[in-house]
Amino acid sequence: MDGYRTLQSDADGLGEMLEIASPEEREMLAEEQASIQTRVDDLYRETLFTMKHADAPAIVRVKSGAGGTESQDWAGMLTRMFMRWAERRGYRVDLLDQQDGEQAGVLSAEFIIRGEKAYGMLAPEHGVHRLVRVSPFDSNNRRHTSFASVDVVPEVPEEEINIHIPDSDLRRDVFRSQGAGGQGVNTTDSAVRLTHLPTGIAVASQVTRSQIKNHEIALQILKQRLYDIEMRKREEEEAKARGEQKKIEWGSQIRSYVLDKQYVKDHRTGLMKHNPDDVLDGDLDDLMWAGLEWMAGKRAAEDAGDDE
């Protein structure tokens, strides 16, 4: 933080010098100021990653809400949005499981995004995303509102997760991997779905052609989810101890995508984007950085409350 303040002071000082510099000096000073400002912005953004495991890969699960085909199509659009965002950044995406919708989209999709600060960048996307549009599935061209939940957890190093799951707590199902067709389609039942009977949480993997390997991957993801549940419970207990009452995640709509009026609005930050097609094609960075600022501010306020 001290380095950030020092660089910001240097950039401000160069700005003042620009006002009184000769024409010959201005070009050189402007280049130096731009270089310093870039470093300032990079350092400031580093301060926004206040969450634990910001550097970890992100496990993302998109699930359609009530509403049939329209909400399933929306879940499919969100899945594509995050995958396009990852593709733009050169990140790797491993599809763990996808349950296709009846006519379009997906009932749910789960995938891992691997890349620099993957979890840190995607953490603000956790919550309920709302779509408003004239539905292409409605012959009367009526306006519909649909919801989908996005769950984002870090892929925590295995040595940090001290969770043992007895075999008696698991139901194991095997099935054929879904694919786009052609030689890549898996013709054997190598995909694995594990259901944790005490909680009802189900996790699947169809990443590899090996049933054994898919079982190992699904078990590890299941442990990640149980670990995340435990961490969130602790956070809620700490919040209650501070006299706070947290909202239920599913009931917290974080963002609306209103396509017929051509805007996307984040309800936490107030940021509006008037290019919804670009956003849905993975242009998410502005929304993510604003979300990270909001999260950092919220964390700072909570820490300040703890000190009182």
Distance of CA 1 to the CA centre of its chain: 26
Q: Residue 71 is which amino acid? A: S
Where the chain has pLDDT below 50, the residues are 180-186, 244-250
Those residues with Cβ within 8 angstroms of residue 212's Cβ, 6 or more apart along the chain or in another chain: none
Q: What share of the chain is helix, strand, coil (3-state, %, to 5)?
A: 45, 25, 30
| Per-residue model confidence (pLDDT) at position 27 | 64
The torsion region of residue 160 among left (phi > 0), alpha (psi -120 to 50) and beta comes to alpha
| Per-residue model confidence (pLDDT) at position 241 | 62
Q: Tell me the pLDDT tens digit for each residue of 190-220.
A: 889 999 999 999 999 988 888 999 999 999 8
| Per-residue model confidence (pLDDT) at position 209 | 87
Q: What would be the CATH architecture of the domain defined by 58-241+248-304?
A: 2-Layer Sandwich (3.30)
Is there a contact between 122 and 28 (Cβ–Cβ < 8 Å)? no
Q: Tell me the pLDDT tens digit for each residue of 264-285.
A: 999 999 999 999 999 999 999 9
Q: Please identify which residue in the block is written with the tokens 């190093």.
A: 157
